[in-house]
Chain A
């Protein structure tokens, strides 16, 4: 379970998070929406321990992330996957080597076992045909799917998705949404998804929360949020929005 309590964070002269409180239960996908610059990605970076809060608490399974030392953070991160907006693949490694990177660095597996596991997750994201290609030669959607494969290769309990469909066409976006839902349903992975997309929120989410002024302004189940009268819920989840 991921729990944020009264989280405050200032970056430069801007107060990004101002009392953010959020709870994500095991096995569910929580969708975090909000205007650009409202602190959605900053929230994810607190959970993975890249940023430390000025005030407040970030807990994963009851363990406080903000006070963890380096070895504790490494242990936590091995239980988590993180999908960056553009996949954040290493350019000089092939897709397969990118996906294999966390296994080669940490898992004590034979090369053949690493290769088998890599192909297994690449098949899951339907990218096994591109295993030998380099990131600059594949499309944005393929990069995201490769990023998702890399996030899943260590069998994480949690995956944090940072705008998983940014800049993608509706068909590829739909495939990514199906994958995220499949990861939750088949692998039991808990997800926290940052997105602006109504389609993403309604297709992958169990609960939706909308950030405003550094804190959650409104949250609820997908059904509650779609039918909510709250102006932000209407702006982000109203009929025409995507």
Chain B
């Protein structure tokens, strides 16, 4: 496309949508260069994988039919008869796992570089809520193939919900759509997976990206203290965007390789009357919580161990989300070393418990 046509097209659009301020903002947007710059890419990779999820998810929706008598069969059809169905299903499954992995990485990198502090408190909150939504995406999507493992894992997972104090039993029945995991559970998980969660995620993602654009990219404390001549930046466009693009391409190759060489089994169709298969485990990102609940004694004081565990996780999640607003011994977090220790302990705990869960 010649420069003249480009300029004409831009002028046409600018006249109608006032794009020049946006272009100016992009021109002035810059990314700090320092030893931790690599972590700036984690959010972008998560966003890329989310887009992959949306794309492959829409393709799967063309053939997937929710229902006790059709879900598994439609998955079989997708995997065997639909052109590239096997590829999109496997990419969807692998990309989902990688997306959650990069979301966690993004979250911890934000913690360690203190990127969540003022004025980015709400960016942090929206990001953390999106991580929770991603986990719900995983949990609801896991049941959709309606296979044996998914069925029993959902049974165990929703049983845990039943241990929530006061509202647990009611909540479990609402989630399951009845006393047990049935076709009703599948229907509502499907609805949640393809409508509710995408809608909520889109809203939060829009807010999150708007905040990132509006507030710019956070600079670590050590970097911001440097004299101006020692601070190095790269323009967001095209430098950072191209690097981001390069990383997305690499991730794309990795996802494709995993989908081709390590396809996900469909397994056997769920059978409520069959005995539970050996070794039912939740998805890896729930493993640390699952393992914790297994390790907790049956009774703690006057409460059931499982209830205590769920309460602790609930409170911990709330505190984690409220971190940007917290102060330690009268000091803001930015001055306290405790936040790094806390984050490190949390990360170690999650990794160790996950490993124990798989041993």
Partners in one complex: no
Chain B interface (Cβ < 8 Å from any Cβ of A): none
